Structure 1
Amino acid sequence: MKAVDMLKALGVVVCVAMASNAYAQASDAAASPATAASAKAAKKATKKTDHQLEVDVRRALSKAQGFDVSKVFVKARSGAVVLTGTVPEGNQIGQAEEIAKAVPGVKSVSNKISLGTQGGGG
């Protein structure tokens, strides 16, 4: 008789263990879409912020007296700004970096602008 009682108890333990495991898996599955959605929303917000920072830096450069922004490109990622392209005068390389650093939201500037000709080749 004791063996039968022991098997019953073991059966109950197995059922409880399986039920709690199934519940845990269902909870994880339910949490994953919400977590993925919030991560996607955060990524979208970061992308939007980066784009706005690019626009702000480019606008600041375009407002600088005597600065030709036509061949300068701005890329931002989480507050880190990268400047690339060419300018016609050497002093504009440092000027671009200083202007970019002064824009609110810019954490760092990587200046990869080089000296180049602005005229058309031919």
Structure 2
Amino acid sequence: MKAIQAIKVVGGALIVLASLNAYSQASDTGADMSTQPSAKQQHKAMKKADRVLARKVRGALAKAKGVSAANIIVRANASTGDVWLEGSVPEQPQVEQSTQVAQGVAGVKNVKNDLTIRPVGQ
């Protein structure tokens, strides 16, 4: 009887030790996985950086004197520094000025200006 009781106690102790070892291994691998961002997290971070750069360019255009930024759409790729200006402005000088303003924003390397001229009221 005592032998059966001893075997049960030793068997239970082995099961507990094995489960603790498995638990510690699982938590170690989880720590390694959390240090590397997933593809989804990287994509979200890149999109956020794009929005931040576009917002900076829009802010600079809005503050620039002589540029009507109301009908200008700004798209940006922060990883390459590319910025696209789309939409319309009322006069030709605003097309060149908007390009210069966008190039002056930190992080912008290239500006593609697709602005068209559309007089006010049309």
TM-score normalised by L of structure 2: 0.66
Unaligned residue ranges in structure 1 (runs of 5+): 1-29
The whole-number CA distance in structure 2 between the counterparts of 1:105 and 1:40 is: 24
**SS of 1:83 mapped into structure 2:** strand
Count of residue correspondences: 88
State whether structure 2 residue 56 is matched by structure 1 residue 53: no
After TM superposition, where is structure 1 displaced by more than 3 Å over at least 4 residues in a row?
none
| TM-superposed deviation, 1:76 | 0.6
Equivalence for 1:12 = none
TM-score normalised by L of structure 1: 0.66
Equivalence for 2:66 = 66
Equivalence for 1:38 = 38
The whole-number CA distance in structure 1 between the counterparts of 2:117 and 2:65 is: 18
Q: Residues 66 and 94 of structure 2 are in contact (CA less than 8 Å); yes or no, is this contact kept in structure 1? A: no
RMSD: 1.9
The whole-number CA distance in structure 1 between the counterparts of 2:73 and 2:91 is: 16
**Which of 103, 106, 122 is the matching residue for 1:101?**
103
Equivalence for 1:20 = none
**SS of 1:97 mapped into structure 2:** helix
The whole-number CA distance in structure 2 between the counterparts of 1:40 and 1:88 is: 41
Q: Residues 72 and 89 of structure 2 are in contact (CA less than 8 Å); yes or no, is this contact kept in structure 1? A: yes
The whole-number CA distance in structure 1 between the counterparts of 2:101 and 2:47 is: 22
What is the letter of the counterpart of residue 48 of structure 1? K
| TM-superposed deviation, 1:38 | 2.0
The percent identity for this pair of structures is: 41
| TM-superposed deviation, 1:37 | 5.1
Bigger mean CA offset, 71-80 vs 52-61: 71-80
